[in-house]
Amino acid sequence: MSIVQGLVVVLHLLGMAAILGGWFATRTSPRVHPAMLWGARSQIVTGLILVGLAEAGIGTDGEPVNHPKIGVKLVVALAVAALVEIANARQKRFNLPVAIGPGAPTPIMVAAPLVQAAAGLALLNVLVAVLWT
Protein backbone atom coordinates (compact mmCIF):
# COMPACT_ATOMS: atom_id res chain seq x y z
CA MET A 1 0.00 0.00 0.00
CA SER A 2 1.57 3.29 -1.06
CA ILE A 3 1.57 6.10 1.49
CA VAL A 4 -0.75 8.22 -0.68
CA GLN A 5 -3.27 5.40 -1.12
CA GLY A 6 -3.01 4.64 2.61
CA LEU A 7 -3.76 8.25 3.55
CA VAL A 8 -6.80 8.36 1.22
CA VAL A 9 -8.07 5.09 2.77
CA VAL A 10 -7.75 6.77 6.21
CA LEU A 11 -9.81 9.76 4.96
CA HIS A 12 -12.34 7.29 3.48
CA LEU A 13 -12.67 5.52 6.83
CA LEU A 14 -13.02 8.86 8.67
CA GLY A 15 -15.80 9.81 6.24
CA MET A 16 -17.62 6.57 7.07
CA ALA A 17 -17.13 7.28 10.79
CA ALA A 18 -18.55 10.80 10.32
CA ILE A 19 -21.73 9.46 8.67
CA LEU A 20 -22.38 6.73 11.22
CA GLY A 21 -21.10 8.83 14.16
CA GLY A 22 -23.35 11.73 13.15
CA TRP A 23 -26.32 9.38 13.03
CA PHE A 24 -25.37 7.83 16.39
CA ALA A 25 -25.00 11.24 18.04
CA THR A 26 -28.63 12.10 17.19
CA ARG A 27 -30.11 8.60 17.40
CA THR A 28 -32.79 9.45 19.97
CA SER A 29 -34.17 12.25 17.74
CA PRO A 30 -32.62 11.67 14.32
CA ARG A 31 -31.76 14.79 12.33
CA VAL A 32 -28.89 15.85 10.11
CA HIS A 33 -25.71 16.38 12.05
CA PRO A 34 -23.12 18.43 10.05
CA ALA A 35 -20.68 15.51 10.35
CA MET A 36 -23.14 13.33 8.41
CA LEU A 37 -23.41 15.88 5.62
CA TRP A 38 -19.66 16.30 5.18
CA GLY A 39 -19.03 12.57 5.63
CA ALA A 40 -21.50 11.69 2.86
CA ARG A 41 -19.93 14.24 0.49
CA SER A 42 -16.36 13.18 1.27
CA GLN A 43 -17.09 9.46 0.72
CA ILE A 44 -17.83 10.14 -2.94
CA VAL A 45 -14.66 12.22 -3.40
CA THR A 46 -12.27 9.91 -1.50
CA GLY A 47 -13.91 6.80 -3.04
CA LEU A 48 -13.39 8.13 -6.57
CA ILE A 49 -9.76 9.04 -5.75
CA LEU A 50 -9.22 5.47 -4.50
CA VAL A 51 -10.63 4.10 -7.75
CA GLY A 52 -8.36 6.42 -9.74
CA LEU A 53 -5.32 5.26 -7.79
CA ALA A 54 -6.36 1.61 -8.21
CA GLU A 55 -6.82 2.06 -11.99
CA ALA A 56 -3.29 3.51 -12.06
CA GLY A 57 -2.08 0.42 -10.20
CA ILE A 58 -1.14 2.38 -7.07
CA GLY A 59 -1.40 0.40 -3.84
CA THR A 60 -3.31 -2.55 -5.32
CA ASP A 61 -0.55 -5.17 -5.66
CA GLY A 62 -1.64 -5.71 -9.28
CA GLU A 63 -5.20 -6.73 -8.37
CA PRO A 64 -7.76 -5.67 -11.00
CA VAL A 65 -10.43 -3.13 -10.00
CA ASN A 66 -13.78 -4.80 -9.20
CA HIS A 67 -15.98 -2.59 -11.39
CA PRO A 68 -19.40 -4.06 -10.45
CA LYS A 69 -18.56 -3.60 -6.76
CA ILE A 70 -17.41 0.00 -7.33
CA GLY A 71 -20.58 0.69 -9.35
CA VAL A 72 -22.81 -0.57 -6.52
CA LYS A 73 -20.85 1.44 -3.94
CA LEU A 74 -21.09 4.61 -6.04
CA VAL A 75 -24.88 4.30 -6.50
CA VAL A 76 -25.38 3.62 -2.78
CA ALA A 77 -23.07 6.52 -1.80
CA LEU A 78 -24.93 8.90 -4.14
CA ALA A 79 -28.21 7.81 -2.51
CA VAL A 80 -26.73 8.44 0.96
CA ALA A 81 -25.58 11.94 -0.06
CA ALA A 82 -28.93 12.74 -1.71
CA LEU A 83 -30.91 11.64 1.35
CA VAL A 84 -28.75 13.67 3.72
CA GLU A 85 -28.86 16.78 1.47
CA ILE A 86 -32.67 16.58 1.14
CA ALA A 87 -33.07 16.02 4.88
CA ASN A 88 -30.78 18.99 5.58
CA ALA A 89 -32.73 21.25 3.21
CA ARG A 90 -36.07 20.21 4.75
CA GLN A 91 -34.69 20.65 8.25
CA LYS A 92 -33.56 24.20 7.40
CA ARG A 93 -36.90 25.04 5.77
CA PHE A 94 -38.96 23.80 8.72
CA ASN A 95 -36.71 25.61 11.17
CA LEU A 96 -38.15 28.87 9.84
CA PRO A 97 -40.72 30.51 12.15
CA VAL A 98 -43.35 30.35 9.39
CA ALA A 99 -43.52 26.55 9.77
CA ILE A 100 -44.31 26.74 13.47
CA GLY A 101 -47.94 26.38 14.41
CA PRO A 102 -50.45 23.84 15.65
CA GLY A 103 -50.00 20.56 13.80
CA ALA A 104 -46.99 21.83 11.83
CA PRO A 105 -44.33 19.18 11.28
CA THR A 106 -41.21 19.61 13.40
CA PRO A 107 -37.70 19.56 11.86
CA ILE A 108 -37.16 16.16 13.45
CA MET A 109 -40.30 14.69 11.84
CA VAL A 110 -39.35 15.84 8.34
CA ALA A 111 -35.72 14.70 8.53
CA ALA A 112 -35.78 11.53 10.67
CA PRO A 113 -36.83 8.88 8.09
CA LEU A 114 -34.31 10.21 5.55
CA VAL A 115 -31.52 10.24 8.14
CA GLN A 116 -32.34 6.67 9.20
CA ALA A 117 -32.34 5.51 5.57
CA ALA A 118 -29.01 7.26 4.89
CA ALA A 119 -27.38 5.57 7.91
CA GLY A 120 -28.75 2.18 6.82
CA LEU A 121 -27.39 2.62 3.30
CA ALA A 122 -23.99 3.74 4.64
CA LEU A 123 -23.90 0.53 6.67
CA LEU A 124 -24.83 -1.40 3.51
CA ASN A 125 -21.79 0.16 1.78
CA VAL A 126 -19.54 -0.98 4.63
CA LEU A 127 -20.87 -4.53 4.16
CA VAL A 128 -20.31 -4.32 0.39
CA ALA A 129 -16.77 -2.92 0.93
CA VAL A 130 -15.74 -5.68 3.32
CA LEU A 131 -17.74 -8.76 2.27
CA TRP A 132 -17.70 -8.46 -1.56
CA THR A 133 -14.28 -9.91 -2.38
Q: Is 33 in the site for ligand HEM (CB under 6 A)?
A: no
The piece of 5-13, 29-37, 83-91, 94-102 that touches ligand HEM (CB under 6 A) is 5-13
Q: Which residues contact 78 (CB under 8 A, 6 or more apart)?
A: 44
Q: Which of residues 69-98 bind ligand HEM (CB under 6 A)?
A: 70, 73-74, 77, 80
Q: From the CA atom positions of the chain, what is the Rg in Å? A: 17
Smallest separation, CB 88 to ligand HEM (Å): 16
d(CA 8, CA 16): 12
Q: Is 118 in the site for ligand HEM (CB under 6 A)?
A: no
Smallest separation, CB 39 to ligand HEM (Å): 8
Smallest separation, CB 123 to ligand HEM (Å): 8
d(CA 130, CA 133): 7
